Amino acid sequence: MTDKNERNSTKLNLEAQRLSTDNPLPKETYKTIPDLDHQQQKAALEDVISDAVKNSNMVREKVDMSEEGADEKMLGAGEEEQQNLAKKEEVKFISEQNGDAKIDIGAIDKTFTGLTKEELMKFANDPFWVRLRWFLFVCFWGLLAGMLVGAVLIIIYAPKCAAPEPLSWWKQGPLVKIDTPTPDDIQIGAIKGLGVKGVIYEVPADETYNIGSDPAISDALKKLAASFSDSGINLIVDITPNFVGRADPLFQKAINNPDVRSAFVTRAGHQVPNNWLSLGNNGSAWTYEGDLSFLQQFGRDRFDLQLNDPVALTKLKGVLKEIISLGAKGIRLANTKHFIIDRELTDNVPSNNPNFDHTQYGFWTHSHTTYQDGLGDLLYDLKAYVHNITNDEGFLAASDDIDRPEVYMSTRGLQSLDMIQLGRVPNLLANSTNSEHIYRELRNVWKSTVEAGKHFWLQWNYVQQDLLKHITISEYNIFLQLIPGVPVFNVDAPKGKAELYATEAFHKIRTSPSYMHGSFDLYRDVNSTVIGYSRTKSGNPGFFVVFNPSEYDLNANFSNVVGIAEELTVHTISTNYNATNVAVKGKVSSSSIPVSGYSAIILTYVPKA
């Protein structure tokens, strides 16, 4: 602001001097500057600024010229540096309306230039940098060694994936029934020749609660267990715990002692409590003893126990413990669906079965004498007891067919028994010629047990050989041996012939990963005329079993099987198999498997990924 006032003041003084008459100087005159002169001045100003910029590029920082090669470096500017200098020379002049000029020299290029090798080498032997390099060197190799040691320790001490446990002996099977507690050496040799894992002996129903109190029964069971133990064959005992006889001490005590009477199903008085019938004679299931009515569903002088009662349960557990102490490793229970009786004694309702009349047992539903609430928990308690007294080496199973496997679950969703028996499939296999019928029944069994989350191990109870209509024991055996479950040979010991059952031939398959831990998948061929199933586990050979229940020779197409190979190897053929050009270890196509009428075949293959 001061400069502006001074200029204005000077201007006024000049004007005053010009007007003064005493001033000898001539008066100044004003003349308009032509545009050409203005442009020349502007061009001159641009030249001056350009020279200044060029001169500024010549300024160099003072360096030690005594350094070797320094002159060459100063003079040896590279192409990149020249381009950067050229950019600096780009200056723009912008004219303003009042005649002034604005100068725009662009953005200043701030290029970073690092130290040269020669400059860095000055610090190579500096103690600080030497120590730092050694520190980083040691840290690098120390960390690398630590990671290597850590990896080795992880491999050594990390929890290893447990190998799948082999099946329990009673799951491996097969099992065989014998009809005498005192087999001779010939019978024992025949049984051992079958290659079974267990021998089943059924104690007479009326003798169940005499085990332990009758020396004859106890001694027979002990000797029977010892007869097979040296061959790795375990004894399994079948018992019928539903009732006691008239001479049983507990029954005698219950007549006069109300404290133990709860172990039985009773009603005061002589009036028949309801319409329940006896299984044996189709008459009333009630009998009178003194002033009491006692339930006896299983026949005369067989008094039903209420097995969920603490008194009756204690008596049953005492028998189980005695059987195990005699050398048995497994126990099967008969009539398990009758273990609990409705205490309200409600009448049964008709089943609407036209094959029976109201005087016959089959006419009624028996919904109050079978499959009662609490049955699953009762059986689970008994199973846990058997596992405990056998150190988890034994098992508890049912010995008769089960119609409602869903009942055999505890309230916690656990299987109440180690094994159950579903006899519909073996019976159908023995008599039916309809593959669709067999497929549907087996599918229903599988859905109601394994797929429903009820992972029972199934028992396949063989029918008597003389009851097979169209097939031989060979076909029957081939089809049932590889289904999940254990075959139970229902044959007499004198009739046991190893060549009929060929169990040793199946032993390797039943102990293979594909059987023990593999999947089971049921199939029909493309034309639904033949039934088959696969047993596979990843990384192991697969097995495929085919059964033709019809009388016709067929070529089955199983190319629809998931993961099946195009070419299969014949493993085993049944007695009725007579297809030409097919032999053990031969090859067949999965899209055309020759299957003779009433025959079965086992094939192996490498499953596709």
Q: What percent of the chain has pLDDT over 90?
A: 44
Which stretch of 38-47, 204-213, 547-556 has the lowest confidence by average pLDDT?
Answer: 38-47
- Which tokens hold the place of 71? 């002159």
Q: Over 80: is that where the pLDDT of 563 sits?
A: yes
pLDDT score at 9: 45
pLDDT score at 452: 55
Tens-place pLDDT, residues 519-544: 999 999 988 899 999 999 988 999 99
Q: Which of 165-179, 186-200, 231-245 shows the highest mean pLDDT?
A: 231-245
pLDDT score at 350: 92
pLDDT score at 64: 43
Can you list the alpha helix ranges (DSSP code H) found in 175-214? Answer: 185-193
Please tell me the distance from the alpha carbon of residue 189 to that of residue 233, in angstroms, as a whole number.
Answer: 12
Tens-place pLDDT, residues 573-609: 998 999 988 999 999 999 999 999 999 999 999 998 7
Tens-place pLDDT, residues 200-243: 999 999 999 999 999 999 999 999 999 998 888 999 999 999 99
* Position 48 confidence tier, pLDDT thresholds 50, 70, 90: low
Helix 375-389 and helix 310-325, axial crossing angle in degrees, nearest 10: 30
Q: Over 80: is that where the pLDDT of 274 sits?
A: yes
Q: Mean per-residue pLDDT for 410-426? A: 87
Name the residue with higher pLDDT: 166 or 139: 139
In which residue are the tokens 């059986």 written? 379
Tens-place pLDDT, residues 464-485: 777 788 888 888 889 988 988 8
Q: Over 90: is that where the pLDDT of 430 sits?
A: no
pLDDT score at 186: 84
Which stretch of 48-52, 68-72, 436-440, 589-593 has the lowest confidence by average pLDDT?
Answer: 68-72
pLDDT score at 533: 94
pLDDT score at 69: 45
Q: Over 50: is that where the pLDDT of 280 sits?
A: yes
pLDDT score at 11: 44
Q: What percent of the chain has pLDDT over 70?
A: 77
pLDDT score at 500: 58
pLDDT score at 92: 63
Name the residue with higher pLDDT: 164 or 86: 164
Q: Over 70: is that where the pLDDT of 108 sits?
A: no
pLDDT score at 342: 95
Tens-place pLDDT, residues 330-365: 999 999 999 999 999 999 999 888 889 888 998 999
* Position 104 confidence tier, pLDDT thresholds 50, 70, 90: low
Can you list the alpha helix ranges (DSSP code H) found in 359-502? Answer: 375-389, 424-431, 435-448, 473-481, 498-501
SS3 content of the chain, % helix, strand, coil (to 5): 40, 20, 45
What is the end-to-end Cα distance of the chain in Å, rounded? 94
Q: Show the CA angle centred on residue 508, arms to residues 503 and 511, nearest 5°.
A: 105
530 neighbors 595 (Cβ within 8 angstroms) = yes
The residues near 205 (Cβ < 8 Å, ≥ 6 apart) are 240, 243, 298, 302, 334
pLDDT score at 166: 80
User: SS3 sequence, 514-565?
Assistant: HHHCCEEEEEECCCCCCEEEEEECCCCCEEEEEEECCCCCEEECCCCCCCCC
Which stretch of 184-198, 252-266, 288-302, 583-597 has the lowest confidence by average pLDDT?
Answer: 184-198
pLDDT score at 98: 62
Q: Which residues pair with 459 in a beta bridge?
A: 421, 486
pLDDT score at 97: 61
